[in-house]
Protein backbone atom coordinates (compact mmCIF):
# COMPACT_ATOMS: atom_id res chain seq x y z
CA UNK A 1 0.00 0.00 0.00
CA UNK A 2 1.37 3.39 -0.98
CA UNK A 3 1.94 5.84 1.85
CA UNK A 4 0.48 9.32 1.80
CA UNK A 5 1.22 12.46 3.76
CA UNK A 6 -0.64 15.75 4.20
CA UNK A 7 0.64 18.36 1.77
CA UNK A 8 1.33 20.63 4.73
CA UNK A 9 4.79 19.05 4.47
CA UNK A 10 5.32 21.29 1.42
CA UNK A 11 4.44 24.59 3.10
CA UNK A 12 7.03 27.25 2.26
CA UNK A 13 8.75 25.18 -0.42
CA UNK A 14 7.55 27.11 -3.51
CA UNK A 15 8.71 30.43 -2.07
CA UNK A 16 12.10 29.07 -1.03
CA UNK A 17 12.65 27.44 -4.42
CA UNK A 18 11.74 30.68 -6.20
CA UNK A 19 14.21 32.63 -4.04
CA UNK A 20 16.91 30.10 -4.91
CA UNK A 21 16.20 30.48 -8.63
CA UNK A 22 14.30 27.23 -9.17
CA UNK A 23 10.92 26.29 -10.63
CA UNK A 24 8.76 24.67 -7.94
CA UNK A 25 5.95 23.74 -10.33
CA UNK A 26 8.30 21.90 -12.68
CA UNK A 27 9.98 20.08 -9.79
CA UNK A 28 6.58 19.10 -8.37
CA UNK A 29 5.40 17.72 -11.69
CA UNK A 30 8.61 15.73 -12.07
CA UNK A 31 8.08 14.26 -8.60
CA UNK A 32 4.46 13.33 -9.36
CA UNK A 33 2.91 15.97 -7.10
CA UNK A 34 -0.39 17.60 -8.07
CA UNK A 35 0.11 21.38 -8.02
CA UNK A 36 -3.09 21.69 -5.98
CA UNK A 37 -0.99 20.46 -3.04
CA UNK A 38 0.69 23.88 -2.85
CA UNK A 39 -2.66 25.55 -2.10
CA UNK A 40 -4.27 23.04 0.27
CA UNK A 41 -2.32 21.78 3.31
CA UNK A 42 -4.71 18.82 3.68
CA UNK A 43 -4.18 17.52 0.14
CA UNK A 44 -2.94 13.89 0.16
CA UNK A 45 0.45 13.46 -1.51
CA UNK A 46 2.47 10.23 -1.93
CA UNK A 47 5.22 10.31 0.70
CA UNK A 48 7.81 9.12 -1.80
CA UNK A 49 6.93 12.04 -4.07
CA UNK A 50 7.55 14.54 -1.26
CA UNK A 51 10.91 12.92 -0.45
CA UNK A 52 11.90 13.00 -4.12
CA UNK A 53 10.73 16.61 -4.46
CA UNK A 54 12.91 17.76 -1.55
CA UNK A 55 15.99 15.98 -2.87
CA UNK A 56 15.59 17.19 -6.45
CA UNK A 57 14.87 20.73 -5.22
CA UNK A 58 18.13 20.72 -3.28
CA UNK A 59 20.01 19.53 -6.36
CA UNK A 60 18.29 21.87 -8.82
CA UNK A 61 18.79 24.89 -6.55
CA UNK A 62 22.34 23.84 -5.64
CA UNK A 63 21.36 24.18 -2.01
CA UNK A 64 22.86 21.41 0.13
CA UNK A 65 20.97 22.54 3.26
CA UNK A 66 17.58 22.95 1.54
CA UNK A 67 15.79 20.93 4.25
CA UNK A 68 17.16 23.14 7.02
CA UNK A 69 16.21 26.30 5.15
CA UNK A 70 12.70 24.96 4.60
CA UNK A 71 12.42 24.11 8.31
CA UNK A 72 12.76 27.81 9.09
CA UNK A 73 9.52 28.37 7.16
CA UNK A 74 7.59 25.54 8.80
CA UNK A 75 6.40 24.47 12.24
CA UNK A 76 4.47 21.58 13.71
CA UNK A 77 1.12 23.04 12.72
CA UNK A 78 1.68 21.09 9.47
CA UNK A 79 0.70 17.99 11.50
CA UNK A 80 -2.93 19.14 11.50
CA UNK A 81 -5.13 17.32 14.07
CA UNK A 82 -2.07 15.74 15.71
CA UNK A 83 -0.71 19.20 16.45
CA UNK A 84 -3.98 20.16 18.15
CA UNK A 85 -3.51 17.18 20.47
CA UNK A 86 0.14 18.02 21.12
CA UNK A 87 -0.74 21.60 22.06
CA UNK A 88 -3.18 20.37 24.69
CA UNK A 89 -0.47 18.26 26.38
CA UNK A 90 0.52 19.49 29.82
CA UNK A 91 4.29 18.85 29.59
CA UNK A 92 7.03 18.55 26.99
CA UNK A 93 7.27 14.83 27.74
CA UNK A 94 3.58 14.29 27.09
CA UNK A 95 3.80 16.29 23.86
CA UNK A 96 6.70 14.13 22.59
CA UNK A 97 4.82 10.98 23.57
CA UNK A 98 1.82 12.17 21.54
CA UNK A 99 4.05 12.80 18.53
CA UNK A 100 5.55 9.31 18.61
CA UNK A 101 2.27 7.53 19.37
CA UNK A 102 0.09 9.14 16.73
CA UNK A 103 2.53 10.19 14.00
CA UNK A 104 1.33 7.31 11.84
CA UNK A 105 -2.00 9.14 11.49
CA UNK A 106 -0.09 11.91 9.71
CA UNK A 107 1.88 9.48 7.53
CA UNK A 108 3.13 5.90 7.52
CA UNK A 109 5.91 6.90 5.15
CA UNK A 110 8.09 8.29 7.93
CA UNK A 111 8.58 6.57 11.27
CA UNK A 112 9.22 7.92 14.76
CA UNK A 113 10.30 5.88 17.75
CA UNK A 114 11.45 6.89 21.21
CA UNK A 115 14.02 5.12 23.37
CA UNK A 116 15.09 5.95 26.89
CA UNK A 117 18.39 5.97 28.76
CA UNK A 118 18.97 7.13 32.34
CA UNK A 119 19.80 10.64 31.05
CA UNK A 120 18.21 10.92 27.62
CA UNK A 121 15.11 10.47 25.57
CA UNK A 122 16.31 9.37 22.13
CA UNK A 123 13.99 10.47 19.33
CA UNK A 124 14.63 8.28 16.26
CA UNK A 125 13.45 9.34 12.80
CA UNK A 126 13.54 7.41 9.53
CA UNK A 127 11.69 6.80 6.29
CA UNK A 128 9.68 3.62 5.85
CA UNK A 129 10.88 0.98 3.42
CA UNK A 130 10.17 1.89 -0.19
CA UNK A 131 9.71 5.60 0.45
CA UNK A 132 12.92 6.86 -1.12
CA UNK A 133 16.57 6.01 -1.80
CA UNK A 134 17.93 9.35 -0.55
CA UNK A 135 16.54 11.12 2.49
CA UNK A 136 19.06 13.78 3.60
CA UNK A 137 16.67 16.71 3.10
CA UNK A 138 13.68 14.95 4.66
CA UNK A 139 15.66 13.91 7.74
CA UNK A 140 17.21 17.34 8.29
CA UNK A 141 13.83 19.02 7.76
CA UNK A 142 11.98 16.84 10.26
CA UNK A 143 14.67 16.95 12.93
CA UNK A 144 15.08 20.73 12.60
CA UNK A 145 11.32 21.26 13.03
CA UNK A 146 11.39 19.20 16.25
CA UNK A 147 14.38 21.09 17.65
CA UNK A 148 12.80 24.45 16.78
CA UNK A 149 9.57 23.46 18.55
CA UNK A 150 11.38 22.42 21.72
CA UNK A 151 13.29 25.70 21.69
CA UNK A 152 9.99 27.61 21.68
CA UNK A 153 9.15 25.98 25.01
CA UNK A 154 12.70 25.98 26.41
CA UNK A 155 14.56 28.88 24.71
CA UNK A 156 17.96 28.07 26.28
CA UNK A 157 17.77 24.37 25.47
CA UNK A 158 19.86 22.63 22.86
CA UNK A 159 20.07 18.91 22.04
CA UNK A 160 22.65 16.81 23.83
CA UNK A 161 23.37 15.42 20.38
CA UNK A 162 21.85 15.23 16.91
CA UNK A 163 23.01 12.38 14.70
CA UNK A 164 22.55 11.82 10.97
CA UNK A 165 23.30 8.77 8.84
CA UNK A 166 24.49 10.90 5.92
CA UNK A 167 27.74 12.74 5.20
CA UNK A 168 28.17 16.31 6.49
CA UNK A 169 27.44 19.30 4.28
CA UNK A 170 30.32 21.49 3.19
CA UNK A 171 28.88 24.48 5.08
CA UNK A 172 27.61 23.70 8.60
CA UNK A 173 26.76 27.22 9.76
CA UNK A 174 22.99 26.70 9.47
CA UNK A 175 23.28 23.36 11.26
CA UNK A 176 24.94 25.15 14.19
CA UNK A 177 22.31 27.88 14.20
CA UNK A 178 19.35 25.49 14.28
CA UNK A 179 20.70 22.31 15.88
CA UNK A 180 23.39 23.61 18.21
CA UNK A 181 26.99 22.45 18.17
CA UNK A 182 26.66 18.80 19.16
CA UNK A 183 25.89 17.00 15.93
CA UNK A 184 27.32 13.86 14.40
CA UNK A 185 27.36 12.68 10.78
CA UNK A 186 28.01 9.19 9.35
CA UNK A 187 26.12 7.89 12.37
CA UNK A 188 24.19 4.67 12.81
CA UNK A 189 20.83 6.46 12.91
CA UNK A 190 19.00 9.75 12.54
CA UNK A 191 18.22 10.81 16.08
CA UNK A 192 17.91 13.64 18.60
CA UNK A 193 19.21 13.05 22.13
CA UNK A 194 16.97 15.05 24.49
CA UNK A 195 18.00 15.52 28.11
CA UNK A 196 15.23 14.30 30.41
CA UNK A 197 15.38 17.42 32.54
CA UNK A 198 13.15 19.28 30.08
CA UNK A 199 10.44 16.61 29.89
CA UNK A 200 8.58 17.97 32.94
CA UNK A 201 8.54 21.52 31.55
CA UNK A 202 4.89 22.64 31.53
CA UNK A 203 3.15 23.83 28.36
CA UNK A 204 1.13 27.03 28.73
CA UNK A 205 -1.38 25.72 26.19
CA UNK A 206 -1.93 22.51 28.18
CA UNK A 207 -5.52 21.42 28.78
CA UNK A 208 -5.87 17.98 30.46
CA UNK A 209 -9.57 17.56 29.68
CA UNK A 210 -9.18 18.51 26.03
CA UNK A 211 -6.09 16.30 25.79
CA UNK A 212 -7.96 13.29 27.12
CA UNK A 213 -10.83 13.77 24.68
CA UNK A 214 -8.55 14.33 21.69
CA UNK A 215 -6.30 11.39 22.59
CA UNK A 216 -9.33 9.12 22.84
CA UNK A 217 -10.46 10.18 19.37
CA UNK A 218 -7.04 9.70 17.79
CA UNK A 219 -6.57 6.34 19.55
CA UNK A 220 -9.76 5.09 17.91
CA UNK A 221 -8.51 6.26 14.51
CA UNK A 222 -5.13 4.64 15.10
CA UNK A 223 -6.71 1.27 15.86
CA UNK A 224 -8.51 1.39 12.52
CA UNK A 225 -5.30 1.73 10.50
CA UNK A 226 -5.03 -1.37 8.30
CA UNK A 227 -1.23 -1.23 8.49
CA UNK A 228 -0.99 -0.55 12.23
CA UNK A 229 0.92 -3.68 13.28
CA UNK A 230 3.24 -3.76 10.27
CA UNK A 231 4.04 -0.07 10.76
CA UNK A 232 4.73 -0.65 14.46
CA UNK A 233 6.90 -3.67 13.65
CA UNK A 234 8.98 -1.80 11.09
CA UNK A 235 9.37 1.13 13.48
CA UNK A 236 10.75 -1.18 16.18
CA UNK A 237 13.05 -2.99 13.74
CA UNK A 238 14.52 0.32 12.57
CA UNK A 239 15.03 1.56 16.12
CA UNK A 240 16.71 -1.65 17.34
CA UNK A 241 18.76 -2.76 14.33
CA UNK A 242 21.61 -0.22 14.62
CA UNK A 243 22.10 -0.69 18.36
CA UNK A 244 21.19 -4.20 19.52
CA UNK A 245 19.98 -7.68 18.62
CA UNK A 246 16.91 -7.51 16.41
CA UNK A 247 15.00 -10.78 16.18
CA UNK A 248 11.31 -11.60 16.33
CA UNK A 249 11.39 -12.43 20.04
CA UNK A 250 12.91 -9.06 20.95
CA UNK A 251 10.53 -7.11 18.68
CA UNK A 252 7.50 -9.02 19.96
CA UNK A 253 8.49 -8.18 23.53
CA UNK A 254 8.75 -4.48 22.69
CA UNK A 255 5.28 -4.64 21.12
CA UNK A 256 3.94 -6.52 24.15
CA UNK A 257 2.99 -9.52 22.03
CA UNK A 258 3.98 -13.17 22.01
CA UNK A 259 6.27 -14.26 19.21
CA UNK A 260 3.56 -16.51 17.82
CA UNK A 261 0.95 -13.75 17.92
CA UNK A 262 3.21 -11.29 16.12
CA UNK A 263 4.06 -13.77 13.37
CA UNK A 264 0.40 -14.78 12.96
CA UNK A 265 -0.75 -11.19 12.63
CA UNK A 266 2.00 -10.36 10.14
CA UNK A 267 1.00 -13.42 8.11
CA UNK A 268 -2.58 -12.12 8.07
CA UNK A 269 -1.13 -8.87 6.68
CA UNK A 270 0.55 -10.84 3.86
CA UNK A 271 4.07 -10.44 5.22
CA UNK A 272 6.40 -11.98 7.77
CA UNK A 273 8.98 -10.81 10.27
CA UNK A 274 11.86 -12.21 8.22
CA UNK A 275 10.60 -10.44 5.09
CA UNK A 276 10.26 -7.13 6.94
CA UNK A 277 13.72 -7.42 8.50
CA UNK A 278 15.22 -8.27 5.11
CA UNK A 279 13.50 -5.26 3.48
CA UNK A 280 14.70 -2.87 6.19
CA UNK A 281 18.27 -4.18 5.89
CA UNK A 282 18.14 -3.72 2.11
CA UNK A 283 16.82 -0.17 2.44
CA UNK A 284 19.36 0.85 5.08
CA UNK A 285 22.29 -0.79 3.30
CA UNK A 286 21.65 1.29 0.19
CA UNK A 287 21.20 4.50 2.19
CA UNK A 288 24.43 3.96 4.16
CA UNK A 289 26.34 3.28 0.94
CA UNK A 290 24.86 6.18 -1.02
CA UNK A 291 24.81 8.83 1.68
CA UNK A 292 27.45 8.04 4.32
CA UNK A 293 31.17 7.49 4.54
CA UNK A 294 30.84 4.38 6.71
CA UNK A 295 33.04 1.47 5.71
CA UNK A 296 31.26 -1.56 4.29
CA UNK A 297 32.47 -3.61 7.28
CA UNK A 298 30.83 -1.11 9.65
CA UNK A 299 27.60 -1.21 7.66
CA UNK A 300 27.59 -5.00 7.83
CA UNK A 301 27.98 -4.87 11.62
CA UNK A 302 25.21 -2.28 12.04
CA UNK A 303 22.83 -4.41 9.96
CA UNK A 304 23.58 -7.55 11.96
CA UNK A 305 25.62 -9.49 9.39
CA UNK A 306 28.29 -11.80 10.76
CA UNK A 307 30.85 -10.67 8.19
CA UNK A 308 31.27 -8.31 5.25
CA UNK A 309 30.92 -11.11 2.71
CA UNK A 310 27.45 -11.91 4.04
CA UNK A 311 26.36 -8.32 3.38
CA UNK A 312 27.91 -8.45 -0.10
CA UNK A 313 25.94 -11.61 -0.95
CA UNK A 314 22.71 -10.14 0.43
CA UNK A 315 23.26 -6.88 -1.44
CA UNK A 316 23.71 -8.78 -4.69
CA UNK A 317 20.44 -10.60 -4.03
CA UNK A 318 18.64 -7.31 -3.30
CA UNK A 319 20.00 -5.14 -6.09
CA UNK A 320 21.94 -7.32 -8.52
CA UNK A 321 25.26 -5.53 -8.02
CA UNK A 322 27.93 -5.06 -5.35
CA UNK A 323 28.13 -2.60 -2.43
CA UNK A 324 31.29 -1.19 -4.03
CA UNK A 325 29.41 -0.39 -7.23
CA UNK A 326 26.63 1.27 -5.22
CA UNK A 327 29.13 3.55 -3.47
CA UNK A 328 30.97 4.40 -6.68
CA UNK A 329 27.70 5.16 -8.42
CA UNK A 330 26.65 7.51 -5.60
CA UNK A 331 29.99 9.29 -6.04
CA UNK A 332 29.38 9.76 -9.74
CA UNK A 333 31.95 7.15 -10.73
CA UNK A 334 30.80 4.50 -13.17
Same domain, 233 and 194: no
Same domain, 16 and 148: yes
- Asked if residue 211 belongs to a domain, the reply is no
Q: What average pLDDT does this structure show over 113-129?
A: 95
- Asked if residue 44 belongs to a domain, the reply is yes
Same domain, 62 and 140: yes
Least confident segment among 41-45, 60-64, 188-192: 41-45
pLDDT band at 330; cut points 50, 70, 90: confident
pLDDT above 80 for 111 = yes
Which pTM does this prediction carry? 0.95
Same domain, 123 and 28: yes
Q: Using a pLDDT cut of 70, give the percent of the chain over it.
A: 99
The CATH code of the domain that includes 313 is 1.10.10.60
**How many Cβ atoms from other residues are within 10 Å of residue 132's Cβ?**
21
Same domain, 193 and 244: no
Cross-strand partners of 195: 120
Model pLDDT for residues 211-243, shown as the tens digit of each residue: 999 999 999 999 999 999 999 999 999 999 998
The better pLDDT of the pair 41, 274 is held by 274
Q: What average pLDDT does this structure show over 37-62?
A: 95
Distance CA 326, CA 240 (A): 25
In angstroms and rounded to an integer, the radius of gyration of the C-alpha atoms of the chain is 20
| Domain limit, last residue, from 159, 177, 198 | 198
Same domain, 60 and 154: yes
The CATH code of the domain that includes 85 is 3.90.1520
Model pLDDT for residues 190-216, shown as the tens digit of each residue: 999 999 999 999 999 999 999 999 999
Same domain, 58 and 168: yes
pLDDT above 60 for 142 = yes
pLDDT above 70 for 1 = no
Q: Which domain holds residue 137?
A: 4-198
Give the count of domains, the chain.
2
Same domain, 55 and 120: yes
pLDDT band at 132; cut points 50, 70, 90: confident
- Asked if residue 213 belongs to a domain, the reply is no
- Give how far Cα 252 sits from Cα of 40, 241, 260, Å: 39, 14, 9
Q: Using a pLDDT cut of 90, give the percent of the chain over it.
A: 93
- Asked if residue 222 belongs to a domain, the reply is no
pLDDT of residue 133: 86
Same domain, 157 and 301: no
Same domain, 251 and 178: no
Same domain, 21 and 108: yes
Amino acid sequence: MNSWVRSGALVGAPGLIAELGGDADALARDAGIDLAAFDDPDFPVPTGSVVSFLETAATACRCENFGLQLAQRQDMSLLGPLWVLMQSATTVGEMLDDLARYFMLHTTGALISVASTPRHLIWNYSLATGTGKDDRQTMELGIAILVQELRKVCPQWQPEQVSFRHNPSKDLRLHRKILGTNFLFNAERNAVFIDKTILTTPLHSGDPLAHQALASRLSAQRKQLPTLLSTQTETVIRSLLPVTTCDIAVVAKVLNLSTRSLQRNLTDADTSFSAMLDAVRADLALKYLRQSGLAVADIAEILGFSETSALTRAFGRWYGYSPRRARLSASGIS
